[in-house]
Amino acid sequence: MRRALVGLLVSGLAALSACSGSKGETISATPTDPALSGRFFSTAGESSATADLYEGRFASGHLLLYRLTSTQRVGGIGGCQSKLTVTNADQTVGLTDTVQNFDAGTFSPVAGLTDPKGSVLAVGPDCRIIFARLDRSTDPPTDHLILFDPARGTSQELYTPGPGKVLGAADFGPGGKIAVIEGTIPTEGHPTVVDGIVIVGSEGPKRTIASPISGLGSLQWGLSKWIALSDEANHRTVFLDAETGNHSELAGWFPLAWSPDGQRLMLTDPATRRTLGLVDATNLASARVVGHTRNTSFYDFVWLPDNATAVGPPAALPRRPDDGDLPS
Amino acid sequence: MRRLRLFAAAAALPLATTVLLVTPARADDPTELIQDELRVAHAPDGTPQTVVISRVVTPEGDVISSTTETIDNPPFRAQDAQFPCLSEGNRPGFGPRKVEHLFYKNRNDMAEFAFFPYAADNARRDPSNYGFSKQWLICATGGADANNGSRTVMTGPGIAFRDSGQTYKLGQNWKEGKTPANYSLNLGFEVPTGFVTIKGQITQTPTAALRGSFRPPFKASEVDAFSRNGANAWWEDSCAPRCAGTGGSSNYQGSVVEALWQFPQDKPVAVSDFALSGFFMHRCSNPFGCR
């Protein structure tokens, strides 16, 4: 009888620990949908100004979000196989955007990056980082696109728009090329007007192609031939072929991140940014819903391969009821 | 028995008539609890003004009557006046905006509040589209001093960006807690904003509490509509809200609050887009009225 009671107690404790949503919780990493294989990180929250860092997992038909930070000061995000890089603006860095690495629940300086103040972050598959640095010492301030190579510990200024111009979103593309949005500097009552997309080649030559969007938005390129741009005014994604200038549209969605192989694009809904969708490169005209949240909106997003080692330990913060839900 | 009732009624009549003939001045009536809400305003010619919304309320905060008057502010000295809310180390990009004041004085009470706004252009970029954002920080301080039997029940400043539909506030700071008796309490705090450091400081010796909230302390306040973008801090006597006898303070009391907001760079924002308020609840402790 005593043995039976002990056995019951042990099995009960095991069942309780399996259900626990606290630190150490393990969710099967086997997605029901092979199109959703990989690791997903996002800056998300109730507003873009107070966003935190989350890891998302698709398991058993659910989207589960795991909050990795609680400072509400995470801006952009980028990642490669071994590193997750963010722009952090918490009190430890003076509340302004600062390029830092994130791992094991903590922010840390990027080794070798001597002036980390900047935003508009993207990380290439080889872990090189691009970001924009605003020089406030000039009037008007001038924007600079910086390339940092962590393997060499060197920074290089890739591009500086002319006076009165600023940079928008940027991303690495095929063959190490880089695309960055350029527009007018915003003033009161006059938001930035995009006047081109600058393509910087791996060897340095630059060319500007006409932009199919007029306001600032996200830009996702990756290994796809298509640059995905969010057309914020018209609530749609515009797919732009950087070589030909051809473009097509997907209404009702904004782009978040290409899959590591460039075959699928994660999307979010323009109205609330709480629904995740997926579009296949073979059919850019049709997307399907893969998950949503009740209160947490997605702002910047990274899709890494399954075997990525960026951010090692499991989430340290407990899940909250609104951190993910069944797809609608 | 009937004669007795008639006698009592007849005796009460002259007294009632007297009460009706005398219009009680603000806070003169010891049975009244007064909530004065002061608001920054400007005349068409730009003259700084204080709008005083004075409400007679129940201890639960329900309004019995209300009056509003607008008063031109007296000339204030510049920022070097000894206001206990000072900025330190202005740095490139973050600069001071026009300081605003509230001032109200009658024969018993005086209330004064000051608001110190700062703004930084291109402070951050929005992670959804990498558009530039600007930040506004406002530090506010002030309080009230009651005399001639008038007693302060609570007082402190409040700030809110006038938008009820969208949250722009990033954070706020105020001092909170029970204040010990016979101790001088320093409300000093510092918040680095990246460009400027704000220091709030006020010294007092209350046996009461310092409180703060997104919501204003007066439930009738229209500023409550903007609470998602608001920050309020106040000193509150331990007797509040049901003060009797000599309950309340006859010394200067007040508090300090600050908040930080972030807006898209192209959104026009001015000091006048913020509701800058001073709250002052008081009562008369003299059973014969405060004069």
> Domain map of chain A by residue range?
31-304
% chain A with pLDDT above 90: 62
- The dihedral through the CA atoms of A181, A187, A190, A191 has a sign that is positive
- Chain A residues whose CB is inside 8 A of the B269 CB are 188
Tell me the C-alpha distance between A252 and A235, whole Å: 6
Cβ–Cβ contact B89 with A under 8 A? no
Contact B126 A48 (CB under 8 A): yes
Shortest distance between the Cα of B173 and any Cα of chain A, in A, equals 14
| pLDDT of residue A208 exceeding 60 | yes
Average pLDDT over residues A154-160: 94
B167 burial class (0-12, 13-18, 19+ CB within 10 angstroms)?
middle
Lowest mean pLDDT of A106-110, A272-276, B150-154, B253-257, name the range: B253-257
B128·A299 Cβ contact <8 A:
yes
Query: How far apart are the CA of A192 and the nearest CA of chain B, in angstroms?
Result: 8
Q: Which of A43, A75, A168 is the closest to B124 by Cβ?
A: A75
> What is the phi/psi pair of residue B132, to 5°?
-70, 150
Selected residue of B91, B97, B129 to mutate for chain A interface (largest A Cβ count, 10 A): B129
Question: Is the CB of residue A253 less than 8 Å from the CB of residue A237?
Answer: yes
Per-residue pLDDT for B75 more than 90?
no
- Residues of chain B found within 8 Å of residue A232, distances taken between Cβ atoms: 129
Task: Determine whether A131 is exposed, middle or buried from the number of CB atoms within 10 Å of its CB (0-12, 13-18, 19+).
Answer: buried
DSSP label at A186? Answer: P
| Domain A31-304: top CATH class | mainly beta
Whether chain A has a CB inside 8 Å of the CB on B182: the answer is: no
* Range name among A8-12, A144-148, B45-49, B269-273 with the lowest pLDDT average: A8-12
Q: Where are the beta strands (DSSP E) in A46-103?
A: 52-59, 62-67, 74-79, 84-88, 98-103
Q: Which residue has 């890089």 as its token pair?
A: A85
Is B133 in Cβ contact with A89 (below 8 Å)?
A: no
Question: What's the distance, CA B156 to chain centroid?
Answer: 4
pLDDT tens-digit profile of A235-244?
A: 999 999 999 9
Which chain B residue shows the shortest CA-CA distance from A46? B167
Pick the closest to residue B286 from B76, B8, B17, B32 (CA basis): B32
Chain A residues with CB inside 8 Å of B189's CB?
none
pLDDT level of residue A26 (50, 70, 90 thresholds): very low
A89 touches B at CB < 8 Å: yes
As given in the structure block, the two tokens for residue A277 are: 């969708």
**Chain B within 8 Å of A47 (Cβ-Cβ)?**
yes
Bridge partner residues of B131 (DSSP)? none
* Cβ pair B128:A95 closer than 8 A: no
Residue pair A78/A122 in contact by the 8 Å Cβ criterion:
yes
Across the interface, whether the CB atoms of B192 and A43 are under 8 A apart is answered no
Higher per-residue confidence, B268 vs A310: B268
The whole-number pLDDT of residue B204 equals 52
Is it the case that residue B21 has pLDDT exceeding 50? no
Is 50 exceeded by the pLDDT of residue A13? no
Q: Is any Cβ of chain B less than 8 angstroms from the Cβ of A138?
A: no
| Sign of the CA dihedral running A279, A285, A289, A291 | positive
Question: pLDDT at residue B139 above 60?
Answer: yes
Measure in Å the smallest separation between the Cα of B167 and chain A Cα atoms.
Answer: 8
**B3: pLDDT confidence band, cut at 50, 70 and 90?**
very low
Judge: B130–A95 Cβ closer than 8 Å, yes or no: no
Among all residues of chain B, which has the CA nearest to that of A42? B127
d(CA B182, CA B257): 24
CA distance A28 to chain B (A): 30
Would you call A136 and B268 a contact, using CB atoms and an 8 Å cutoff?
no
pLDDT at res. A15 = 38
Is the CB of A191 less than 8 angstroms away from the CB of B131? yes
Indicate the pLDDT class of residue A179, thresholds 50, 70 and 90.
very high
**pLDDT band for position A183 (cuts 50, 70, 90):** very high
CB neighbours (10 Å) of residue B244? 10
Q: Any CB–CB contact under 8 A between A218 and chain B?
A: yes
Q: Is any Cβ of chain A less than 8 angstroms from the Cβ of B180?
A: no
What is the per-residue pLDDT for A5?
45
- Across B175-217, where does the E strand assignment appear? 177-178, 185-186, 189-192, 197-200, 203-204, 208-213
Q: Determine the Cα–Cα distance for residues B197 and B96; give it in Å rounded to an integer.
A: 12
Which H helix or E strand runs over A11? Answer: helix A2-19
Place of tokens 């539909």: B165
Q: How confident is the model at residue B70 (pLDDT cuts 50, 70, 90)?
A: very high
Q: What is the mean pLDDT of residues B62-83?
A: 73
Note the pLDDT of residue A209. Answer: 94
The CA–CA distances, whole Å, from A321 to A21, A45, A65, A295, A327 equal 10, 13, 10, 10, 15
Q: Are B122 and A134 in contact (CB < 8 Å)?
A: yes
Query: Across the strands, what pairs with A66?
Result: A55
The conformation of residue B275, written as its DSSP 8-state character, comes to: E
- Among residues A80, A79, A76, A42, the alpha carbon closest in space to that of A58 is found at A42
The stretch A180-187 carries a mean pLDDT of 95
Cβ-Cβ contacts under 8 Å for B249 (sequence gap 6 or more): B146, B151, B152, B206, B208, B237
Q: What is the average pLDDT across A98-120? A: 93
Please give the C-alpha separations between residue A242 and each of A213, A249, B130, in angstroms, as whole numbers: 14, 15, 21
Chain A: nearest CA to B215, how far in angstroms? Answer: 20
Helix (H) or strand (E) holding B138: strand B132-146
Give the B window 195-214 contacts with A, CB below 8 Å. Answer: 195
Q: What's this model's pTM, rounded to 2 decimal places?
A: 0.78
A273 touches chain B (CB under 8 A): yes
To probe the interface with B, which of A69, A73, A136 has the most B CB atoms within 10 Å?
A136
What is the value of ipTM here, to two decimals? Answer: 0.77
A222 contact B CB<8A: no
Q: Does B124 touch chain A (CB under 8 A)?
A: yes
Q: Which of B122, B128, B191, B193 best probes binding to A when mutated, by most A CB atoms within 10 angstroms?
A: B128
- Subunit contact A273:B128, Cβ cutoff 8 A: yes
Q: What is the mean pLDDT of residues A247-259?
A: 97
- Pick the more confident residue, A216 or B195: A216
Q: Is A122 on the interface with B (CB under 8 A)?
A: no
Residue from A42, A48, A98 whose CB has the most chain B CBs within 10 Å, to mutate: A48
Provide the pLDDT for residue A233.
94
On chain B, the residues whose CB falls within 8 A of the CB of A47 are 167
**pLDDT higher than 90, residue A186:** yes
Residues 6+ apart with CB under 8 A from B269: A188, B119, B134, B136, B263
Contacts of B265 in chain A (CB under 8 A): 186-187, 191
Sign of CA dihedral B244, B247, B252, B253: negative
Asked if A136 and B265 come within 8 Å (Cβ–Cβ), the reply is no
What's the confidence (pLDDT) of residue A248? 95
pLDDT in tens, A49-88: 889 999 988 876 678 888 889 888 899 999 999 999 999 9
Angle at B179 between CA B224 and CA B112, to 5 degrees: 50
- Residue A299: CA count within 13 A, CB half-sphere: 32
Indicate if the pLDDT at residue A189 is higher than 80.
yes
User: Parallel, antiparallel, or unpaired: how do β-strands B197-200 and B189-192 relate?
Assistant: antiparallel
Does the pLDDT of residue A31 top 60, yes or no?
Answer: no
Give the residue with greater pLDDT, A136 vs B268: B268
For residues B168, B173, B178, B181, the Cα torsion angle rounded to the nearest 10 degrees is -140
A197 in contact with B at a CB cutoff of 8 Å? no
